[in-house]
Amino acid sequence: MSERMEVDAETVKHISELAKIDLDDDEVEIFTRQFKQIISYFDILDEVPEIEIQLDVKNVLRNDKKENSLPREEVFQNIDETTKKDYFKGPKVR
């Protein structure tokens, strides 16, 4: 098993980029401290007996029959109000 790297501010910034959540400097500082503590608690899982994982799963299918879909105006009632009706608005693709 690979040794765990110590969690530092750079680790937290890297994860925040992967998770796509900007953090301010205070949050980076607090999370660095808390993550060290929480992740070292997770080391309790280093000692877990071998156990067979039995998955109790089967396919669930339904009849392929036509049903009404949601009305357009209800689906789009949550879009940004500056947006033209019936469109989702996103940033420009450059």
Partner 1 sequence: MKNINSFITRIDSKGSKKGPLRGCTVAIKDNISTKGIRTTCGSAMLKDYIPPYDATVVEKIKAAGATIVGKTNMDEFGMGTTTETSYFGPTLNPHNEDLVAGGSSGGSAAAVASGEAMFSLGTDTGGSIRCPAAFCGVVGIKPTYGLVSRYGLIAYANSLEQIGPIARTVEDAAKLLDVIAGVDVKDSTSLDIGKGGKYAKYASGEVDGMTVGVPVELIKGMDKNVLEPFESSMEQMKEKGCTIKEITLPSLEKAVAAYYIIAMSEASSNLARYDGVRYGVASGFGGDWNQMFSASREIGFGKEVKRRILLGTYALSAGYQDRYYAKAQRVKAWVRKEFENAFKEIEVVASPTMPVLPFKLGEGEKDPLKMYLSDSNTVPVNLAGLPAISIPAEWDKDSGPVGVQFVGARFQEKKLIRAASSIER
Q: Contact between 25 and partner 1 (CB under 8 A)?
A: no
8: which residues sit within 8 A by CB, 6+ positions away? 32
Return all residues near 31 (Cβ < 8 A) that are at least 6 apart. 12, 23
The Cα 72–Cα 58 span in angstroms is 34
Residue type, 6: E
- Mask for 74-93, x = binds partner 1 (CB under 8 A): xx-xx-x-------xxxxxx
As given in the structure block, the two tokens for residue 45 are 């899982």
Binding mask 42-71 for partner 1 (x = CB under 8 A): x-xxx-xxxxxxx-----x-x-------xx
Summarize as ranges the residues that interact with partner 1 (CB under 8 A): 1-2, 4, 11-12, 15-24, 27, 31, 34-35, 37-39, 41-42, 44-46, 48-54, 60, 62, 70-71, 74-75, 77-78, 80, 88-94
